[in-house]
Amino acid sequence: MAQMQASTVEQIAQLKAEAVPGEAEALRKYDKLQLQLKAEAAARDAEEEIWRLEISDSTFESELCLILGVVLEVLRSV
């Protein structure tokens, strides 16, 4: 993902340098690459959020199992 972003940033820099001769086309490509960069960042953010939620769920399940284990021990001792 970072490699794609670096490539996109390089392409944007190249297009800025070429903007004078073919300004309209360069600006169109620039806008397209900017959108692509934003989409890649949004995808990366979504992947990170999914990962964070999966970790949270996993931690919650582990804690719940520990609590249930303690409850069962208490119930067995009564």
First-to-last alpha carbon distance for the chain, in angstroms, is 56
- Whether this model's pTM surpasses 0.85: no
CA dist list (Å): 14 to 17, 18, 35, 56:
5, 6, 16, 42
DSSP for residue 20: T
What does the alpha-carbon distance between residue 20 and residue 33 come to, in Å, rounded to a whole number?
A: 18
pLDDT tens-digit series, residues 10-41? 887 777 777 666 777 888 889 999 988 988 88
Question: What crossing angle do the helices spanning 2-17 and 23-77 adopt, rounded to 10°?
Answer: 160
